[in-house]
Structure 1
Amino acid sequence: MKQLLIILSSIALLSSCVKNIELIPVNNVQPPEIKEGKELATGMFSNGAHAVSGTVKIISDSNNADKKYLSFENFKTEQGPDLYIYLAEDTRSTNFVTVVKLDKTGTFVLDVPQEAKLDKQKYVLVWCRQFSVLFGSAKLL
């Protein structure tokens, strides 16, 4: 009986982020400061509770060493009601920084928040805030 409750709870948790926000596919051309910038780290997305794929890179700005970008390439995720991109110390969202509320898939660039600590926050998370569910993650190496 206890196992049945655990299984049913797990199924409810995994299916709790219902699809209701449409993510817009984009294929933005990277600005020159990204193309000429230095790649500092890269990671491949892996699934959490939902399917997530693609690559993410940390790129330094070619004109300003203090400015960093997250460059997403061929990024895909299942839709959810309240998806955010976080930078965190682990996949449990420890000491996370919110990058943006997610509204697109494909190839695009986001600014890394100034308060991010890239020496510690090595995970890019796709997080459903409404239900505290990890959709997927990429470890930056």
Structure 2
Amino acid sequence: MVTVSRRRITMGVVAVVLVGLGVGLVWFQPWKLFVDETVREDLPTAAAPTASAASPQRPAASVAPTPAAPRTVASGELISHEHTTSGTVKLVRLPDGTHTLRLENLDTSNGPDLRVWLTDAPVKQGEAGWHVFDDGRYLSLGKLKGNKGDQNYALPEGTDLTKYTSVSIWCDRFDVSFGAAELTRI
């Protein structure tokens, strides 16, 4: 009788350990540390408005001139926080007046639930900068497409770029910055 009870306790402990291990694997996703996802996107292009965009209510002369090519309006270099991170961040105005955030030569670790955030937080070196990006205003531009390469993130129409001063590669699962860049207006 004692061995049956001991066997049940042992099976219960084994079951709890296996469930805990399964939950831990799903939560931490440690395999991502060994898997790189490389993205190679070209800078998007958008057609510039032409005189045909005029209407009876809006004559062609009132159409504001737009640049013929994409123009970088702010940029910065990524620094490392929780994980070694490097690359260039650019805010680019497209010929149609929309804006895109571009990551070039990104190189960081892969991880669970990584996001690209446009923020108003100051970029701080080392551990002091790991947790500051969710303290103030931030705009999530979506999931990080890959931990290496060149990629684009469209900014929502009407985004006030004067309210944002930095970009973070943010791990939403653990509330920590993998790396960040201060944006300098050009």
TM-score tier, shorter chain, comes to: 0.7 to 0.9
Deviation at 1:79, TM superposition (A): 1.2
- Any stretches of 5+ residues in structure 2 without a counterpart? 1-26, 48-67, 124-131
Give the structure with the larger strand fraction.
1
For residue 104 of structure 2, what is the aligned residue in structure 1? 73
Give yes or no for the alignment of 1:47 onto 2:80: yes
Quote the Cα distance in structure 2 between the aligned partners of 1:69 and 1:121: 14
Deviations 1:38-78 (A, max 9, x none): 1100110000111111001111011x22x100121101111
Alignment of 1:79-118 (within 5 A): 79-90=110-121, 91=123, 92-93=132-133, 94-104=136-146, 105-114=148-157, 116-118=159-161
Report % sequence identity: 27
Q: Which moved more, 1:23-32 or 1:39-48?
A: 23-32
- More contact order relative to length (CA 8 Å, sep ≥ 6): 1
Q: Which runs of 5+ in 1 are unaligned?
A: 1-15
Which is greater in Rg? Answer: 2
TM-score (norm 1): 0.77
Give the RMSD, CA atoms, in angstroms: 2.3
Alpha-carbon deviation of 1:29? 2.3
TM-score (norm. length: structure 2): 0.60
| Contact 1:20–1:81 (Cα < 8 Å) also in 2 | no
Tell whether the 8 Å contact from 1:41 to 1:140 is kept in structure 2 after alignment: yes
